[in-house]
Structure 1
Amino acid sequence: MSLMRSMNSGVSGMRSFQTKMDVIGNNIANVETAGFKSASVTFTELINQKVGGSGQGGNSAPQSGNQVGLGVRVASITRNFEQGAFQTTNRSTDMAIEGQGFFMVKESNLNYLTRAGNFSFNKNGNLVDNAGRFVQGFNADRLGNVTPGTATENVRINFDAVFPPQATSNIRIAGNLNGNTSTARILASQGAYTTAGGAIARSDTDLNALNQVTSPLQNGDVISFELTLNDGSNQSVGFTYTDGATLQDLIDGINAGMGAEEGRFSLVDGMLTLRSGQLGQSSLALNMVSVTGAGQVQFPGMQTVSEGVTGTQTISATVYDSLGKTHTLIIELTQLAPGTWNYEARFVDGEEITSAGTGTLEFDENGVIVGEGNIELSFNPGTGGPAQNLSISFGDNGDGIQTTQFYNSSSMRVQSQDGYAQGELVDVYVNGDGNVIGVFDNGSNRNLAQLAVGNVANINGLETVGNGMFRATGASGDMVVSTAANLNNSTIYAGVLEGSNVDLAKEFTDMITAQRAYQSNARVIRTADEMLNELVNLKR
């Protein structure tokens, strides 16, 4: 009887290690299977049978029961859910989850979990796995809003989807306005003021020391400058001479009477120059200089050295109306003075601007725009659509980009505008939260769906049903529906697949030990058989 026990133990060992070899073989066979999770076998002994007595002998202590084991059996086959390495495929519908959770697929109204993300779109736009099972998620409404919940649906993309046009309401313009774009009109005397010996006069030269003074000036003599101002009007500015007055005193007196906004006289290389206080074209001119009193002065005539140039910067922006038609908006910026620019908006095709098409932009001493720098205007698109309001921003929206006025080249351009024409779907991709994003040919993107991510309380309690799928059981707990964004440490990557987590080195090592264990159990049976033969031969 005892020899039969040893033979049965050997048989149970061979059966158990055959199962282990089956598991090892399956692991190795799936070394390249996407999302495959390797399995391992654990053993436990069978029942033990008592042999001999257990009791007390005389004054001896109680004896423990003498038991002999009856072999081994498979205790469990468990999955290793450690994440496999990612493999790049560059297919936008191939996906992998980094972290917790499983993709959810449906077949025959039953939800399954899988880590194999080799998906594709079928002819109906449904996202399916390689066996045609429907990937589960939450489809977006027509505005691109997704509302995740507990009830999932088949992820479906309408590849004939059209993105409706959106009217432009905000335009962002920024860059640098060249502060040196506009120039002022400059006039200069036709000859230099000189002193005895022909030396060039300086600002501190006494007026009576000038060669141009043919009869000395006396206290109380008045020198009058007859001017044409920037706006074309005439003005007379007088300077009353006092003994010792210099050329600079004369210049300062005339400037004070004329006003800086009109212009300013100065002495440059002995020549009297007049610079307009207005940028661009100007009527400023010195018509005549006369002296009332005893003195006589021959002032050289003035000539125009440089005509004023008005600096302009033109910006073109595309504006969309509610029907998707484009309108070309031109904004012309004209420098009126340092730090002050006038703007005028118009449409190339003559669309009517109903309000606020003109105004000014102001810059501080640091070249930074003053205030928010916003322009609000309304126009009639003339397409049957409603009147349209535009908000045009030149200021800082919090991103550090704004309009400046430095003495550098102009770099003004449209940074952004929020309108677009109708668009057709040209591509889709999946982001880290599992959102299926549609890319339209008008440059717009919109959420089309979001993939569901399922999980259970005890993943080791999941039942394997083949094809890389798992099913929830009582041991695993109910399936919890979530998204990658709401599941801790989970991110979905597109263009990659999660590879098998089979460790070949470990599998080969386990194979060797399983083989040796199998051989050893076979040897037990053989030895027990030889012992039985010896027992049978005793009667001979």
Structure 2
Amino acid sequence: MMRSMYSAISGLKNHQTKMDVIGNNIANVNTYGFKKGRVVFKDALYQTMKTGSAPQDNRGGTNSMSIGLGMSLGSIDTINTPGSSQSTGKNTDLCISGNGYFIVQSGHEMLYTRSGAFDFDETGNFYALGNGALVLGWMADPNNNWNINTDDKGNPVPINIGGLSSLAPQASTAMNFTGNLDSSSADSAIVPTSKVVYDSLGNEHTIYFQFTKTAVPNEWECRISAEPDFSTSIVTGTDPIPMEFDTSGRLVSPTGVDVELSGISGAEDIDIDIDFSSITQYKGESTAWASYCDGYTSGDLRSISIDETGTIKGTFSNGQIRDLGMVALATFQNPAGLTNMGGSLFQVSSNSGDPNIGLPGNEDRGVLIPSNLEMSNVDLSEEFVDMITTQRGFQANSRVITTSDQMLEELVNLKR
């Protein structure tokens, strides 16, 4: 009878532990990135009353007899099934669709989380709301054409865009023309157009173009100048430029010319390659124009967005878009082995395996869903059923104790 009491006590204690886990799950039903816990029981030691024997001398064998001494906790597991995504409308919120954890740095410690409630602080740090941990990834290099070097995937750095808030100007170097010159135009018909270009300081300059139909069939002339009256030429070579088309209306020569704007105060000369190869000569309206020209003035960072690959894109006041950085993800051989640190943060343990750090969407890492957060994976209906069975298990064990006590009372009362 004493064994039954102590067995029941172990049941009471461990059912209380299970109830604690259920209560924590329910408390975090609306916690972003939360992963529910699960309690697994196992039976405890057994006291052997009689060992078994093998068959012999035309007699069958006998089984051993033993009495269990209660139960104990087998494990408290973290269930890493993904939660559903919830749209937030906040462009810095991120949800992982698939495997992986965000990598954050708290002090000098590297931690991991599924909660993607992030934002940028006043100094440009990309950080986790609530605990201030810095989100890790890779940064763009403005001195290397804004490339993001992810070759060293094992060493992500804190994402900080404070030094990438301005974009230096870029001088124009290339221009492309498109459109049509009317083949039925009268001799000496003029088609004017112009295009804005930029010098090395970001100053705007206008280049003027004038296409003139000649008396020779399928031939036009083009004059290029920095003055609207075409008083000076900026063409490197013959001016005006003879433009010859074939009988199919395609430009034969020249397909391109070089122009140079020199003598600009404080800035370098502008040297531009102009591509005329897309201009045609068909019957119809004359629409020849410079459809593209590179170069831009300086700009300040105006807005930020993050795509499904974790690339942080910045839009500048001059209309340019640049990749500023990229968010890193880590996967583990045994994510259930991570140590829960609280605050939706996890730490590497000896049983989780080392982190496999890389780009979102690569290998077994999931892609990101911008402007969404991952909900808790707690199922309330499941938790309530577990609560009922846990309560009944606790009641049953307490009834064993009261029944054992009554039996002891009857034994004591044998002598009055």
C-alpha spacing 1:533/1:438, structure 2 compared with 1 (3 Å):
same
- Cα pair 2:249 2:281 within 8 Å, conserved: yes
Measure how far apart 1:487 and its partner are.
Answer: 4.3
| Partners of 2:246 and 2:14 in 1: CA distance | 87
Measure how far apart 1:55 and its partner are.
Answer: 4.1
| Partners of 1:535 and 1:414 in 2: CA distance | 107
Aligned positions of 1:217-296 closer than 5 A: 280=187
Alignment correspondent of 2:46: 48
Aligned positions of 1:125-164 closer than 5 A: 125-130=124-129, 131-143=131-143, 144-148=146-150, 149=152, 150-158=154-162, 161-164=165-168
Bigger drift between 464-473 and 7-16 goes to: 7-16
| Partners of 1:46 and 1:29 in 2: CA distance | 31
Alignment correspondent of 2:75: 76
Alignment correspondent of 2:116: 117
Alignment correspondent of 1:409: 285
C-alpha spacing 1:474/1:174, structure 2 compared with 1 (3 Å):
same
Alignment correspondent of 2:396: 520
C-alpha spacing 1:537/1:177, structure 2 compared with 1 (3 Å):
farther
| Partners of 1:52 and 1:160 in 2: CA distance | 78
- Cα pair 1:177 1:403 within 8 Å, conserved: yes
2:141 counterpart SS class: coil
Tell me the alpha carbon deviations over residues 443-500 of structure 1, each in whole angstroms, 9 at most, x when there is no partner: 1122322222222222111110100010001101123332325443532333221111
| Partners of 1:351 and 1:35 in 2: CA distance | 67
Q: Does 1:88 align with 2:117?
A: no
TM-score, normalised by the number of residues in structure 2: 0.89
Measure how far apart 1:419 and its partner are.
Answer: 0.3
Alignment correspondent of 1:62: 61
Structure 2: which amino acid aligns with 1:416? Y
| Partners of 2:75 and 2:339 in 1: CA distance | 13
Alignment correspondent of 1:355: 236
Structure 1: stretches of 5+ with no match in the other structure: 184-279, 281-309, 396-401
Structure number with greater Rg is 1
Measure how far apart 1:433 and its partner are.
Answer: 2.5
Alignment correspondent of 1:13: 11
- Cα pair 2:330 2:365 within 8 Å, conserved: no
What's the C-alpha RMSD, in Å, of the aligned pairs?
A: 2.4
Q: Does 1:394 align with 2:276?
A: yes
Measure how far apart 1:352 and its partner are.
Answer: 5.4
| Partners of 1:87 and 1:95 in 2: CA distance | 10
Tell me the alpha carbon deviations over residues 415-451 of structure 1, each in whole angstroms, 9 at most, x when there is no partner: 2211001111222222333222222111112232222
1:376 counterpart SS class: strand
% identical equivalent positions:
35
- Cα pair 1:354 1:377 within 8 Å, conserved: yes
Match of 1:334 among 193, 205, 212: 212
Match of 1:179 among 166, 183, 186: 183
Alignment correspondent of 1:385: 267
Tell me the alpha carbon deviations over residues 200-231 of structure 1, each in whole angstroms, 9 at most, x when there is no partner: xxxxxxxxxxxxxxxxxxxxxxxxxxxxxxxx
Measure how far apart 1:327 and its partner are.
Answer: 0.8
Structure 1: which amino acid aligns with 2:407? M
- Cα pair 2:224 2:235 within 8 Å, conserved: no
1:404 counterpart SS class: coil
TM-score, normalised by the number of residues in structure 1: 0.70
Bigger drift between 462-471 and 382-391 goes to: 382-391
Bigger drift between 485-494 and 439-448 goes to: 485-494
Measure how far apart 1:160 and its partner are.
Answer: 7.3
Bigger drift between 368-377 and 318-327 goes to: 368-377
Structure 1: which amino acid aligns with 2:49? V
| Partners of 1:176 and 1:505 in 2: CA distance | 69
| Partners of 2:159 and 2:388 in 1: CA distance | 46
- Cα pair 1:159 1:425 within 8 Å, conserved: no
1:178 counterpart SS class: coil
